[in-house]
Structure 1
Amino acid sequence: MEVAIVTGASRGIGRATALKLAEEYAVVVNYHHQESRAMEVVAAIENKGGKAIAVQGDVSNYEDAKRIVENSTEMGKLKILVNNAGVYDVKPFIRTLPSEWERIFQVNVFGMFNMIHASIEHMEWGKIVNIASIIGLHPMARAAPYCSSKAAVIALTKSLAQELGPKIKVMCVAPGPTDTDMLRRIHGPMPADPPEKVANVIMEIIKSGVEGECRVV
């Protein structure tokens, strides 16, 4: 059985992506804190005849990343990794603490490094999709750490695409505003795409994307 890992899959884009991938793959639903919501995702997949497990882990911790990947290999052959887990904040740069900058990079950039590093030795071939952001391409004010981290994700994607391809195809998706808990917590109600729209684009790039592509949603 072919397996897909989705990090941060208990809600939002990760949840929608896990449900979509489950139509074709066994899915590892990674979560950090939201166990009950992760189990709801697993139940939804199983109720539709799919196969899934929930695996707790903080992707910014390399040992956790290795454990997430090891759990996936017990289900079958790892073919897909969707690096979705991320953190976001908005505040004036002058009020941003070094620890806040570091935490955003730990999850958004080092988390992807950890998951990719732990995964590639288990992939005979496969596809890696990193979730970037439109503001990694077109940065906005009051979000310097997040914008910088997502720009790093795009650069990481393009570099690894050259290094790991064609055996492992590395691509990224850059969503605009998406209706998630994280967005509502920071910005309140605002026009935003449903997570399912992003999940559909992730599936499209898995099927037809080219190495190093960063597809804007």
Structure 2
Amino acid sequence: MFSLKGKVVIVTGGASGIGLAISQTFAKQGAFVHILELNEDLAQQVAADIIKNGGLAQAHVVNVADQAQVRKVVDAIATLGPINILVNNAGIAHIGKAHTTSEEDMDKIYQVNIKGVYNCLNVTLPHMIGAGGGVILNMASIAATVGLVDRFAYSAAKGAVYSMTLSVARDYLDQNIRCNSISPARVHTPFVDGFLKKNYPGKEAEMFEKLSKTQPIGRMAKPDEIGALALYLCSDEAGFVTGCDYLIDGGFEKLNT
């Protein structure tokens, strides 16, 4: 079950955190994973590791906020065969309320987290239509549907991703294209460790424990757990699933009291 053998996959931000877990999981299941990343060295290393472990992968240096760059790479990938799966994972975080978020920061969040997703959809969808179908998975967040403290710009962007997911799912039913999203709560990635080191020097362990306990299950998610859910949603076994957002939040949204 959940085989992706012969599938061609694009994972944006696919060399770190959740994206890395998705790239590795999909490769283990037989997919040819194309990693789109800003960090060339990191992307090349991840692709090399996947190949070393018997998988198929290729790294591409792309800024998803630049449609011309996205188009050049995606069109090149499409010349090799149908693009079966697109995972829109690339994104950046921001901390701040509406009145403390600068225009520059708001624009930056928009360029990457909203326009970046749009760019990949805009460029990839015609290839999927021409190939007779495909699967799209967008990385949303609990921030899309829950009021989180100091996450104004990030929440707005993830709300847009959630809405785009529904729109694409509805618009491309007749083209045999499924589109879903995943909404994680806190996931233990290198970003979390960096955030704690920067903002709570000397209190990293204490704050890590505090943040972990905000999930009723008592811990943060592991990237591999997000990768496993992504695998299901992009597999043929999920062929009847479209237009859905999947919470993977340790009970954060429904069980917090």
Distance 1:72 1:170 in 2: 20
Query: Does residue 210 of structure 1 match 2:241?
Result: yes
Find 1:161's aligned residue among 169, 187, 201.
169
Query: Does residue 131 of structure 1 match 2:139?
Result: yes
Find 2:23's aligned residue among 12, 15, 18.
18
TM-score of the two chains, using structure 1 as the length reference: 0.94
Distance 2:233 2:122 in 1: 21
Query: Does residue 29 of structure 1 match 2:60?
Result: no
TM-score of the two chains, using structure 2 as the length reference: 0.80
| 1:159 maps to amino acid | S
Query: Does residue 6 of structure 1 match 2:11?
Result: yes
Question: Which residue of structure 2 aligns with residue 119 of structure 1?
Answer: 124
Check whether the contact 2:137–2:230 (CA below 8 A) recurs between aligned residues. yes
Question: Which residue of structure 1 aligns with residue 84 of structure 2?
Answer: 79
Distance 2:147 2:63 in 1: 27
Check whether the contact 1:9–1:18 (CA below 8 A) recurs between aligned residues. yes
| 1:27-176 alignment, distance < 5 Å | 27-32=33-38, 34-123=39-128, 124=131, 125-166=133-174, 167-176=176-185
| 2:183 maps to amino acid | A
Distance 2:70 2:147 in 1: 29
| 2:64 maps to amino acid | V
Offset, 1:49 = 1.7
- 1:148 alignment partner, SS class: helix
Question: What's the Cα RMSD here?
Answer: 1.5
Offset, 1:187 = 4.0
The alignment of Structure 1 onto Structure 2 pairs a total of residues equal to 216
Superposed CA offset, 1:148-180 (max 9, x none)? 110111011001100012511011000110112
Percent identity at matched positions? 27
Structure of higher CA gyration radius: 2
Distance 1:156 1:175 in 2: 17
| 2:57 maps to amino acid | A
Offset, 1:75 = 3.7
Check whether the contact 1:171–1:211 (CA below 8 A) recurs between aligned residues. yes
Distance 1:163 1:205 in 2: 19
Q: 1:84 to 1:204 in 2, by over 3 A?
A: same
Structure 2 stretches lacking a partner, 5+ long: 1-5, 198-203, 213-219, 249-257
Q: 1:89 to 1:186 in 2, by over 3 A?
A: farther
Offset, 1:118 = 0.3
- 1:18 alignment partner, SS class: helix
Superposed CA offset, 1:76-120 (max 9, x none)? 320000000000011243221111011111111111110011001
Distance 1:35 1:153 in 2: 26
